[in-house]
Copies of this chain bind each other. A is one copy, B any other.
Amino acid sequence: MQKIERKRLSVADYRQGLRNHDTLILAQAITLVESQLANDQHLANELIQSILPLCGQSLRIGITGVPGVGKSTFIETFGTFLTQQNKKVAVLAIDPSSGKTKGSILGDKTRMEELAKNPFAFIRPTATGTALGGVANRTREAILLCEAAGFDVVIVETVGVGQSETMVRGMVDYFLLLMLAGAGDELQGIKKGIMEMADGVVVTKADGENHKRAIQAQADLQHALHLFQLAESGWTPTVSTSSALEKKGLEETWRMMEHYKNFTDQNGFFKANRQSQNNLWLEERFTLLWNSRLTDDKKFQAMKIDLQNKIAENKMTVRDAANLLLEVSKTLT
């Protein structure tokens, strides 16, 4: 692959491009906020600052589900449906592969092929190159950029490993769980705690022979979910079925989300949730900065290694060592 030199744009260039709904500029802006270079970081911050008034108007949807549930297919079908309702749809997919293999989900050409060609849609993988903290920060900024570029719906897809659901739940308005009908216990295979995070469930592949089972699963789940009323939002999660094959259940699914939006707008949770998500983001970003400050300090690192050795030799307790580290951390310049 040929490396293409990126033309150095100004904040005004980016801003104008976003206002013009230019997806090439949007893609470049996301690359900018993902960059670790000090110059880029500076520019990225200015850019985000300048677009803040344009942000916040989209519905941010997180989507999760076990492998095989048809996540990509659902997003493709549902996203296409939304564009037909005159909505602009951005999909941010957190891509676990690209960190290690430099591969990308978009390398897999069959994945969301239709949506990728749709002029009212934008698909972007976020590499998990570094720790999840960094990914969370970058994805949150990518959401803001998509909003500044006029997208009405921003879908964040989880990868279903580690803490990625919790991370995505912490940056979206609505968290959707995709499930398959059948296989006996509907709850099996779902990580503990995921069900409790969902604002809604879609039973996928509700077509052909599977249709009856999907309807049954929907009823069972709706019954079970009455136990899961979400304490903070006061919302009781709802369940729909969908078929990507027969393009069914998409409108119902969207209505479910609209109901949620109306309900939480009225009780104030929608806004309160975004605020507490921003507070969490601030905590995470501060911790990230603080940690890299410690990591970069040679005196602190040398001290830590010395203390680790003393602990290994049973000469010092972890309590004492931690207290000493705290004292050193206070003296860093």
Interfacial residues, chain A to chain B (CB-CB below 8 A): 41, 44-45, 48-49, 52-53, 55-56, 137, 140, 160-162, 184, 188-189, 191-193, 275, 278-279, 281-282, 285-286, 288-290, 293, 304, 307-308, 311-312, 314-323, 325-326, 329-330, 332
What is the copy number of this chain in the assembly?
2
A-B contact pairs, 27 of them (CB 8 A): A44-B319, A45-B320, A48-B319, A49-B316, A49-B320, A52-B314, A52-B317, A53-B314, A137-B318, A162-B193, A191-B191, A191-B192, A275-B308, A275-B312, A278-B312, A278-B318, A279-B308, A282-B307, A282-B308, A282-B318, A282-B321, A285-B321, A286-B326, A288-B322, A290-B290, A290-B326, A293-B326
The binding surface of chain A is classed by DSSP as helix
Once the chains are docked, how many angstroms separate the CA of A304 from the CA of B278? 12
Determine if A317 and B279 form an interchain contact, defined as CB atoms under 8 angstroms apart: no
Q: A278-B312, A317-B45, A332-B330 are in contact. Are A286 and B322 (CB under 8 A)?
A: yes
Nearest neighbor of A304 in chain B, beta-carbon distance? B282
B188 touches A281 (CB 8 A): no
Residues on B with C-beta less than 8 A from A160 are 192
CA distance A288 to B321 in the complex (A): 13
- Whole-angstrom distance between the Cβ of A175 and the nearest chain B Cβ: 17
Q: Which of B161, B281, B325 contacts A282 (CB 8 A)?
A: B325
Residues of B within 8 A of A330 (CB): 332
What are the 3 tightest A-B residue pairs by CB atom distance, in nearest-first order?
Answer: A285-B322, A52-B314, A286-B322
B53/A285 in contact, CB under 8 A: no
Q: How far, in whole Å, are A255 and B89 apart by their CA atoms in the complex?
A: 58
Tell me the bound Cα distance from A326 to B284 in angstroms.
12
Supply 5 further A-B pairs (C-beta < 8 A) apart from A188-B189, A289-B323: A49-B316, A191-B192, A282-B321, A286-B329, A289-B326
Asked if A311 and B282 sit within 8 Å, CB to CB, the answer is yes
Given A52-B314, A55-B314, A278-B308: A285 and B319 interface contact (C-beta under 8 Å): yes
Alpha-carbon distance A75/B228, docked complex (angstroms): 32
A288 to B329, CA, bound (A): 13
Q: In whole Å, how far is A306's beta carbon from the nearest beta carbon of chain B?
A: 11
A161 and chain B: residue at smallest CB distance: B192
A318 lies within 8 A of B55 (CB): no
Of the listed residues A56, A275, A293, A317, the one surrounded by the most CB atoms of chain B closer than 10 A to its CB is: A317
User: For residue A328, which residue of chain B has the nearest CB?
Assistant: B286
A52-B317 Cα distance, complex, nearest whole Å: 8
Cβ–Cβ < 8 Å partners of A316 in chain B: 49
Contact among B49, B192, B317 with A317 in the assembled complex (CB-CB below 8 Å): B49
A139 to chain B, nearest CB (A): 13
CA distance A315 to B278 in the complex (A): 13
Q: How far is B124's CA from A32's CA once the two chains are assembled, in angstroms?
A: 53
Q: How far is the CA of A171 from the CA of B309 in the complex (A)?
A: 18
User: B188 and A48: CB pair below 8 A?
Assistant: no
Q: A282 — which chain B residues lie within 8 A by C-beta?
A: 304, 307-308, 311, 318, 321-322, 325
Nearest residue (CB) in B for A289 is B326
CB-CB under 8 A from A275, the residues of chain B are 308, 312
Q: A326-B286, A326-B289, A326-B293 are in contact. Are A318 and B281 (CB under 8 A)?
A: yes
